[in-house]
Amino acid sequence: MKTTTVNTLVQYIIWLCLIVFSFSSIVHANDNYKLGSGDTIKITVFGQEDLSIEVLLNDSGKVDYPFLGQLQATGKTLTQFQQQIHTGLKGDYLINPNVSVSIVEYRPFFIDGEVNKPGGYPFQPGLSVNKAAALAGGYTERASLTKIFIIRSNDPEQKSVNVHANTSVMPGDIITVKQSYF
């Protein structure tokens, strides 16, 4: 009986550690992610319903926020934007606001060339070129798996870079799968 209890406790601890590790890696990934046009975000100020909003970031990347006016969101991490709102509300409006900013929906990525259904698709964390191609109906018969190019949305020069099929894809990226001649 004691062995069963210990085994159950060990399984519970392992399960709890996996959840904590998964959550911390998601939080870490979002700490590096910069907001951009096309992202839908949710701003929550706990205990203040009138200050909690959900908004799609347009081309200007600004959010009309109660009491604070227009705030620039694009180019900032979730933590930076959250801190900006916290700082703006603290003092004049609230004593110690508890602000949370989260992504409801990432901006899409785009895939064209030798895939069955080229177009824009909703980004999903953990997306690779192969997974993106699968969302686009798979590669065509003439697709070259050595001639795959990405233009990164965060690259100011917008250079097309040759990548592998297991390369990570980010929101706003443009993937082009070239044709193979053999």
Structure tokens at 106: 């990432």
pLDDT at residue 63 in the model: 95
For the segment 130-165, what is each residue's pLDDT rounded down to a tens digit?
A: 999 999 999 999 999 999 999 998 888 999 999 999
| Nearest CA among 106, 142, 102, 104 for reference residue 121 | 106
Instruction: Answer whether 40-105 and 109-179 agree in fold.
Output: no
167 CB burial (10 A radius; 0-12, 13-18, 19+): middle
pTM above 0.85, yes or no: no
Across the chain, mean pLDDT equals 86
CATH architecture of 40-105: 2-Layer Sandwich (3.30)
Is the Cβ–Cβ distance between 148 and 177 less than 8 Å? Answer: yes
Domain borders along the chain are 1-32, 40-105, 109-179
- Pick the most confident of 58-62, 88-92, 133-137: 133-137
Q: Which residues contact 52 (CB under 8 A, 6 or more apart)?
A: 42, 43, 44, 45
Extract the tokens encoding 109.
Answer: 């990525």
Identify the architecture of domain 109-179 in CATH: Roll (3.10)
- Could you tell me the maximum CA-CA distance found in the chain, to the nearest angstrom? 68
Mean pLDDT for 116-132 is 95
Q: How far apart are CA 126 and CA 169, in angstroms?
A: 8
Percent share of the chain, pLDDT over 70:
82
**pLDDT for res 5:** 58
Q: What is the mean pLDDT of residues 15-29?
A: 41
